[in-house]
A and B are shown apart, each in its own frame.
Chain A
């Protein structure tokens, strides 16, 4: 190896320079907008800093404050757990169901597909405001109809027991992304396997259990893990729902009780905003940010281990 031909060496250097040139936007972006702020977040998590006075070292005080005294941390973590268990599960089941339905519809398939997909595109703030209106207990059309046919009329976004189910309904409405992914996966299942199963006398359930499910299980796994990661990032919908439902004059600076009603819509990203931008306690905000970081990375690692395809490249 020691005697590399000078021509070859020049060629290699040229290739290295070329790689560097092509990758340079990412290298700069990754360093300035990821590595630097991440290290800085770790640094600030040990500092007392309010943005005006110089930061001072506080050791583990921010950390112990978040875990033992900050009244919003554990409710937010519990809500996240609830959303992971209920919302993600229902979204995967519902997305698969709608995906299967759309592969079976023969008349007007394009129209149905558009109808099922469109809500996914509704801007989150607009969609959330629409749902707070649709589900408002006073004049909302949903309770209007529920009451009309003698069903109970919950308080939805104004009732701490119903606010997360209301958010889940909103999330199920925007199922379009999962529908398309499942639809593509279902159409890729080899038809011969279904025919073979049918010849063996397998019923609809057995065909689903022994043919469909094994074939699409990687996609189900993908949907679950990305669903969990999205839940870690769940911010706009619960925040806007809480603000609008509580009747706060938006953006007016009027203090908003985070997680209205009764902390039931708090999520971890909202805590970063609450601590950093409402209470100017940047140090404690960084602690929550790091908790969020660790959770997101754990699930990302899971995703990459399960789907090596993410990394496979041609050689």
Chain B
């Protein structure tokens, strides 16, 4: 994955041709072609960047407008109402949603990684009958829309275990492995030469100790990537909290609460956008700290295999 930071082109268009008889005119033409190519590529890049970045800019600008100004067509805040963020922060419930989301995301991530790692290890390194069948089943559940099994699951958690109005029905299943995490970790474990595990085995290391002391230090980037994916999945989850937590506002998460925020302030786009910024911000901060692990993880989903 070292080429991730390498941006040299596979395309030959702008590769300097080594000419045996350096004709100054041909050299000049080549240089001009290269400059034009550079300008073309970078103009396209700037246009694309505008498409990706401008929505953020407009959202932030609107979040800083006064109530009255947000109802007009103006694009630039005048004056800057920084207090909007304070207003959102102080909205009853906002801090609770924040805390719930964090609890859900952190506990969900820890449980998922801890329970999925041994499964992924077994699927990558042990030989046993039915291994491919299990892989097929893992991939199938990975692709399953959560709505397919939601009716019985809802009845199970609320009618039998009376956990309606909590996030437990979302957190507990994560202690039993997550298909996507198992799949990604297994793909990564396959790239580790079996000499490592065999050497540990020769040294009399048990499988669990091999996994924890030899393998885990080697697959830290993959663990970071799957942890991030799971964290973002929980942070962004809307359907789960909608099903299980909707009856109890004390258990709402940010994604679910944000929508009700729009309801309460439904003419105040400025406050709604300020809330949107506060929900997006942590994700973006986490990304900047873990950019590399994240992008490697995405690559793993599609390319390795």
Contacts and interface: CB of A to CB of B under 8 A. Distances in A.
Interface string B142-155: 01111111111111
B42 interface: yes
Given A126-B258, A144-B73, A293 B148 contact: yes
A120 to B, nearest CB: 9
Interface string A229-272: 10011011000100110011111100000000000000011001
Interface in A185-237: 185-189, 191, 194-195, 197-198, 204, 207, 212, 219, 222-223, 226, 229, 232-233, 235-236
Nearest to A31: B176
Nearest to B299: A184
Contacts of B207: 18, 22
B259 to A, nearest CB: 4
Interface string A26-43: 101110111011101100
A38 B151 CA distance: 10
A187 B243 CA distance: 43
A33 B283 contact: no
A107 B35 CA distance: 12
Chain A interface extent, by class: 35 or more
B199 interface: no
B32 interface: no
Nearest to A236: B238
B234 to A, nearest CB: 11
Contacts, number: 323
A293 B143 CA distance: 10
B177 A25 contact: yes
B73 to A, nearest CB: 5
B151 A41 contact: yes
B190 interface: yes
A68 interface: no
Nearest to A29: B176
Interface in B35-83: 38, 41-42, 44-45, 48-49, 51-53, 55-56, 58-59, 62, 70-73, 75
**10 nearest A-B pairs in the assembled complex, by CB-CB distance:** A29-B176, A40-B152, A250-B263, A181-B302, A37-B149, A22-B122, A249-B263, A250-B259, A37-B152, A309-B305
20 contacts: A19-B122, A22-B119, A22-B121, A22-B122, A22-B207, A25-B175, A26-B116, A105-B42, A112-B49, A115-B52, A123-B280, A125-B255, A133-B62, A134-B59, A136-B269, A139-B269, A197-B12, A219-B303, A304-B136, A311-B132
